[in-house]
Chains A and B, each alone.
Chain A
Amino acid sequence: MTESPNLVAFTPERQEKVKEIIARYPEGRQKSALLPVLHVAQEQWGWLSSEVMDHVAALLSIEPVEVYEVATFYTMYHLDPVGKHVIEYCRTGPCCLMGGEDVYGYLKQKLGIEAGQTTTDGLFTLKEVECLAACGWGPVFQIREKYHMNLTNQKVDEIIEELSK
């Protein structure tokens, strides 16, 4: 599990990145930076604790509630601690036509967890997501920025093995 941050501060490189993002928008419109900055925050901490969200609010000169209401609306932001690898599995129709439900059953059995749970070793969190816009290459899941496509049970074995090293 990723620990809740004790000291909330972006790494120097990410601080630069955040600065660059805020500068993209017209003056007084820095709130536009919220979604991209939350992605940078999640990249660093793995999930968005209220301390992290408060820190982002301060950076953008907006109220903390403006960050909470956004973070709770969009599905990509994790509001609870997650495992090292978050598997975001597409459960939508076109992937199901390609055998997505069977592969999903296999994956759940292999990890021994259901959607929303994390393996006891803290390595994998499983999350069901809606269409990832890769329907022709289904079944699909995403781990961080990487799309894993045309999944089969064998491919699942290989990916999990690789990430368990």
Chain B
Amino acid sequence: MARKILTEHINTPGIETFEVYRQKGGYTAVEKAIKTMTPEEVVEEAKKSGVRGRGGAGFPMGMKWGFLAKPEGVPRYLVCNADESEPGTFKDHHLMKCIPHLLIEGMIISSFALGANKSFIYVRGELMYVIRILEKAIEEAKAQGFLGKNILGSGYDLELIVQPGGGAYICGEETALLESLEGKRGNPRNKPPFPAVKGLYQSPTVVNNVESISNMPWIINNGGDAYATIGIGRSTGTKLISASGHINKPGVYEIELGVSVEEFLNSDEYCGGVRTGHHLKALVAGGSSVPILPANLITKTANGEDRLMSYESLSDGGFATGTMLGSGGFIVFDETACIVRNTWNFSRFYHHESCGQCSPCREGTGWMEKVLHRIEHGHGSMHDIDLLVDISKKIEGNTICPLGDAAAWPVASAIRHFRDEFVWHITHPHEASQPGAVYQGEMALA
């Protein structure tokens, strides 16, 4: 069994309660950090661990903490991004629901490190039942002296607030999240200034993902150096992978970064293989926004090396033959899946979720959805394929936030690797538009 940092006790009955979490060694890291370490020492451990942002961007968390401005007399904020909404991603949902105290312990340690006295967990509003679980856990921690005034007699005060969103994918973008937390529409801000200088209420702010912060208790108990020995290269530690689609065992799995894609997909410890009686056609490894790969590029890179579950290996070959680890949303497609239909579905998602601020994204996502809809429904023309590529290029890199890129990549990659399937939809409109119709020709080999 692989080493577990986040999920070791996740199946322990009662782990959602303070009592059981504490019995399993919970909150010892808070005691260690607050009683024996300075905030700077905690930041140093985060830096040494090499832990990277688990929401999708993969930016080193310790380095992000290092950018936080510390002007005298100005409050600083830590905001946890629990707006998990990227299609294919449901790990934070699982973690917060099952073991809420892990995030709370991580929030206390991280807030102490950053000198924040009021911290927020921004949870997507649909997860109201999880918000209630977190609020209950916060009450318990408070009653035990781990939150509130003068924590463990240290003189350090921390108030933890759970904020519900209102249903908007865009609020997973950190500056949109801050706007939303201020009670506004979730329109991403122009950067600079970055949140580390001007974030929530124009004060220095750090925004970190649930999973990133949840690593902190282990890092404090065992040391950043120990964390950095797990994983491979610059992909240190473990990662939660949300596995969905055509596999035998969908669910959330904690892997040591560096396990091979082959093992993750086929081993009984994880996905248990493509669903019985079917075979792999395509895979989205890191949430709907990362490039889709055909079967032949999933377990091996274009150079014939084993593809690993790590930031570097998944992106090997760039977008020509690689993809990204992203948020770890691992979506598996077998031969019954229609790539055109799925691409249209994802496009509809991004069109629906575009905040409308930047024209290339607001208009472009709608055009892509429309063009894909007509190809899927038997009304496409050959020109439409190039038109889609053209639109995607005009969105990519031309928007305030990365939603534009996220909308462009799935379309561009589907055409790159599965062009035959688009062509077939256009040349065989009647067959292709039948419910459940799937291109049966030779699988597109990149």
Contact = CB atoms under 8 A, between A and B. Distances in A.
Interface of A: 24, 26, 29, 31-36, 38-39, 60, 62, 66, 69-70, 73-77, 88, 91-94, 96-98, 129-138, 142, 145-147
B126 A132 contact: yes
B272 interface: no
B166 A73 contact: yes
B182 A135 contact: no
Nearest to A30: B183
A131 B163 CA distance: 20
A138 B244 contact: yes
6 contacts: A31-B182, A77-B166, A97-B245, A131-B85, A133-B126, A134-B93
Interface of A, secondary structure class, is mixed
Contacts of B329: 135
Given A94-B88, A96-B342, A136-B243, A70 B167 contact: no
B349 A131 contact: yes
B128 A145 contact: yes
Interface of B, secondary structure class, is mixed
A115 to B, nearest CB: 13
A131 B129 CA distance: 17
Contacts of A92: 87, 288, 345-346, 349
Interface in B182-216: 182-186, 201
Contacts of A138: 244
Contact of B166 (A75, A96, A135, A145): A75
A98 B231 CA distance: 32
Nearest to A24: B161
A130 B246 contact: no
A32 B164 contact: no
A66 B128 CA distance: 24
A39 B126 CA distance: 10
A148 to B, nearest CB: 12
A97 B126 contact: no
Which of A38, A66, A74 is most buried by chain B, counting CB atoms within 10 A of its CB?
A74
A142 B352 CA distance: 19
Nearest to A26: B201
A35 B333 contact: no
A35 B164 contact: yes
Given A70-B183, A97-B337, A76 B90 contact: no
B164 A93 contact: no
Contacts of B378: none
A129 B337 contact: no
A97 B244 contact: yes
B167 A129 contact: yes
A136 B87 CA distance: 11
Contact of A136 (B186, B251, B345): B251
Given A26-B201, A35-B164, A93-B349, A133 B331 contact: no
Nearest to B165: A35
A73 B185 contact: yes
B351 to A, nearest CB: 10
Contacts of B129: 145-147
Given A32-B163, A32-B181, A60-B183, 4 more contacts: A39-B125, A77-B166, A96-B341, A136-B242
B162 to A, nearest CB: 9
B52 interface: no
B76 interface: no
A135 B126 contact: no
Nearest to A105: B435
A137 B129 CA distance: 16
Nearest to B245: A97
Given A93-B346, A147-B129, A136 B165 contact: no
A75 B168 contact: yes
A24 B118 CA distance: 9
A29 B201 contact: yes
A73 B186 contact: yes
B425 interface: no
Contacts of B168: 73-75
A128 B127 CA distance: 17
A137 B348 CA distance: 22
A33 to B, nearest CB: 7
Interface in B335-366: 337, 341-342, 345-346, 348-349, 352-353, 355
